[in-house]
Amino acid sequence: MIPYQQGQCLCGAIKFTAQPASNNMDACHCTQCRKWSGGVLFAVPCTDLKINNESQLGAYQSSDWGERLFCKTCGSNLFWRALDQSIQVVMSQAFDEPGQFTFSAEAFVDEQPGNYAFANCTRKMTGEEFMAEYS
């Protein structure tokens, strides 16, 4: 088991703990994640996400099955979760120690713009391949 990890938003209004499902961190190149993050989204699937100050959390339902959560004060993008809370994903850079995770996979490479590419050796999946595996 991976130990529980702590994290917080930029301003500190929201602090959280979560248990990472593994040491792996994935990138998502899909249009929604790039729009929301303003870059490339790096995420860690977790269980048992506990948030200290839910009233500070803004929510945007970005699809029929999921919502994106952020700090209302500083705008930090923090979590994606399924509406039924069956899947919880933490933005890796929101953790206090994001460098501990291994960059292992990239999703939605078919939506990736042509003007960047990561040198890390990762498993690359199209949106179709990713959805087949995780839904």
Max distance between CA atoms of the chain, in angstroms, equals 39
DSSP E strands in 1-133: the ranges are: 5-8, 15-20, 24-28, 41-51, 57-61, 66-71, 77-82, 88-91, 102-107, 123-124
Using the minimum distance from each CB to Zn ion, give the nearer residue, 71 or 105. Answer: 71
> For residue 16, what are the β-bridge partners?
7, 51
Q: Which of 2, 13, 51, 87 forms a contact with Zn ion (CB under 5 A)?
A: 13
Residue 9 interacts with Zn ion (CB under 5 A): yes or no: yes
Using the minimum distance from each CB to Zn ion, give the nearer residue, 19 or 66. Answer: 66
Q: Which of 30, 44, 90, 109 forms a contact with Zn ion (CB under 5 A)?
A: 30
Contact 126, 134 (CB under 8 A): no
Residue 18 interacts with Zn ion (CB under 5 A): yes or no: no
Binding mask 50-89 for Zn ion (x = CB under 5 A): ---------------------x-xx---------------
Number of residues that bind Zn ion (CB under 5 A): 9
Residue 103 CA to residue 83 CA, distance in Å, equals 26
Whole-angstrom CA distances from 123 to 31, 33, 102, 103, 107 are 19, 18, 12, 9, 8
Q: Which of 25, 28, 46, 109 forms a contact with Zn ion (CB under 5 A)?
A: 28
Residue 11 interacts with Zn ion (CB under 5 A): yes or no: yes
Chain positions contacting Zn ion, by CB under 5 A: 9, 11, 13, 28, 30, 33, 71, 73-74
